[in-house]
């Protein structure tokens, strides 16, 4: 059961007349070494983002297959990417990011984990000219799109995804959605202030302020992405928005087991967060078949 403060936030979002403006991230590309370090620390698999990484990992595992080439747009320090790559050793991944600092972190992380199915490349996700039309089996992206400067750049990114993805390819794009009230944005940003470095809290606040509207995602997905993908958001309040293709994998039992193992090792407060995220997405139409069969 979500906490009273979450339910009050939902109520505020449903009733407010406020329309908080979108404010660009101060660092569109994350190059500042201190911020990169804070994001990396909070983001490692036992950090504050652990339940979110696990949730997205399970969603991604549904849309990729052995033998695929998968592009990860804005891989950052590769925490998410390495987690998915470890569970899918027969799939090849290419992580793209514009930030050298992030790519260096990503490279060390991939080497520490001894992964030989991950390649990293410096690239701008709004221009994937190095990839041919219909050349990749799946595209994934987690918590990146709000870094784009405007809706035009978001449209260019979606157009590029539509161009490089093979017909009926796998897709899982997820990001924050724009909340109406500044108070709701502050609520989420400061919710775990005691569990995370201050720089990470600020980064989270800026991310929520920079989030695009659900309707903007929907319009661009309809224009550029194949008709078989669908848009989902957390129930009643689009705190998170996901665009996903139908599942392409039939739930490898080994992947299920390993996801269940990771879930079982989460501390109780992370298990609660994971369940909340699953519940809000499930009520918004998106199931997590591998985590909660
Ligand atoms: C918040 S991090 C997310 C990293 C990772 N996907 C995750 O889930 O932890 C956003 C990343 O997007 C990268 N980024 C922002 N704009 C980009 C662009 N136009 N092209 C490529 N990467 C970009 C940033 O440098 C940063 O590493």
Q: What is the CATH number of the domain that holds 177?
A: 3.40.50.150
For 72, the domain range is 27-283
30 Cα to the center of ligand 1, angstroms: 7
**Residue 212 to residue 43: CA distance in whole angstroms:** 22
The answer to the question of residue 137 being in a domain is yes
CA 291 to chain centre: 17
Question: What is the side-by-side strand order in the sheet with 165-176?
Answer: 118-122, 92-97, 69-73, 136-142, 165-176, 240-244, 230-233
pLDDT given for residue 62 in this prediction: 97
The answer to the question of residue 271 being in a domain is yes
> pLDDT category, 251, cuts 50, 70, 90?
confident
The answer to the question of residue 21 being in a domain is no
Q: What's the mean pLDDT in 232-242?
A: 95
The answer to the question of residue 289 being in a domain is no
The answer to the question of residue 290 being in a domain is no
Give percent of the chain with pLDDT exceeding 90: 80
pLDDT given for residue 277 in this prediction: 94
125 Cα to the center of ligand 1, angstroms: 9
pLDDT digits (tens, 9 = 90+) for 119-175: 999 999 999 999 999 999 999 999 999 999 999 999 999 999 999 999 999 999 999
> pLDDT category, 36, cuts 50, 70, 90?
confident
Q: Which atom of ligand 1 is nearest to the CA of 102?
A: 27
Number of domains in the chain: 1
Beta strand 136-142 with 92-97 is unpaired
Among candidates 83, 64, 91, which has minimal Cα distance to 249?
Answer: 64
Instruction: Give the 3-state DSSP-derived string for the chain, with helices as H, strands as E and coil as C.
Output: CCCHHHHHHHHHHHHCCCCCCCCCCCCCCCCCHHHHHHHHHHHCCCCCCHHHHHHHHHHHHHHCCCCCEEEEECCCCCHHHHHHHHHCCCCEEEEEECCHHHHHHHHHHHHHCCCCCEEEEECCCCCCCCCCCCCEEEEEEECCHHHCCCHHHHHHHHHHHHHHEEEEEEEEEEEEECCCCHHHHHHHHHCCHHHCCHHHHHHHHHHHHHCECHHHHHHHHHHHCCCCCEEEECCCCCCEEEEECCCCCCCCHHHHHHHHHHHHCCCHHHHHHHHHHHHHHHHCCCCCCCCCC
Opening angle at CA 241, ends 122 and 227, nearest 5 = 85
The answer to the question of residue 164 being in a domain is yes
Give percent of the chain with pLDDT exceeding 70: 96
185 Cα to the center of ligand 1, angstroms: 20
The answer to the question of residue 56 being in a domain is yes
Ligand 1 contacts (CB < 6 A) are 28-30, 43, 74-76, 79-80, 96-99, 102, 124-126, 142-144, 147
- For residue 218, pLDDT beyond 90: yes
Q: What's the mean pLDDT in 34-58?
A: 81
* 25, 28, 30: residue to mutate for ligand 1 pocket, most atoms within 8 A of CB: 30
The answer to the question of residue 171 being in a domain is yes
- For residue 45, pLDDT beyond 70: no
Q: What's the mean pLDDT in 192-197?
A: 80
């Amino acid at each position: 059961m979500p906490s009273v403060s979450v339910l009050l936030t939902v109520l505020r979002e449903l009733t407010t007349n406020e329309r908080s403006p979108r404010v660009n991230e101060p660092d569109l590309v994350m190059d500042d070494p201190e911020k990169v370090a804070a994001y990396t620390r909070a983001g490692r698999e036992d950090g504050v983002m652990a339940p979110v990484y696990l949730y997205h990992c399970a969603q991604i595992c549904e849309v990729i297959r052995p033998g695929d080439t998968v592009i990860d747009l804005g891989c950052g320090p590769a925490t998410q990417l390495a987690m998915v790559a470890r569970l899918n050793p027969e799939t090849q991944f290419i992580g793209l990011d514009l930030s050298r600092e992030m790519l260096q972190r990503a490279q060390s992380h991939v080497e520490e984990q001894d992964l030989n199915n991950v390649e990293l490349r410096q690239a701008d996700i709004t221009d994937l000219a190095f990839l041919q039309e219909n050349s990749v089996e799946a595209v994934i992206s987690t918590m990146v799109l709000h870094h784009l400067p405007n809706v035009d750049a978001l449209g260019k990114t979606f157009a590029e995804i539509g161009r490089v993805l093979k017909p009926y390819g796998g897709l899982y794009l997820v990001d924050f959605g724009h909340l109406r009230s500044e108070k709701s944005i502050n609520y989420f940003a400061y919710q775990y202030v005691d569990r995370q470095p201050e720089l990470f809290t600020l980064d989270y606040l800026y991310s929520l302020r920079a989030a695009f509207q659900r309707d903007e995602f929907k319009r661009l997905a309809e224009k550029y992405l194949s008709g078989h993908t669908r848009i989902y958001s957390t129930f009643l309040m689009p705190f998170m928005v996901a665009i996903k293709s139908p599942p392409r994998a039939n739930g490898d039992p080994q992947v299920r087991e390993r996801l269940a193992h990771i879930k079982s090792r989460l501390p109780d407060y992370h298990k609660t967060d994971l369940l909340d995220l699953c519940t809000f997405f499930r009520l918004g139409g998106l199931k997590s078949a591998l985590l909660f069969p």
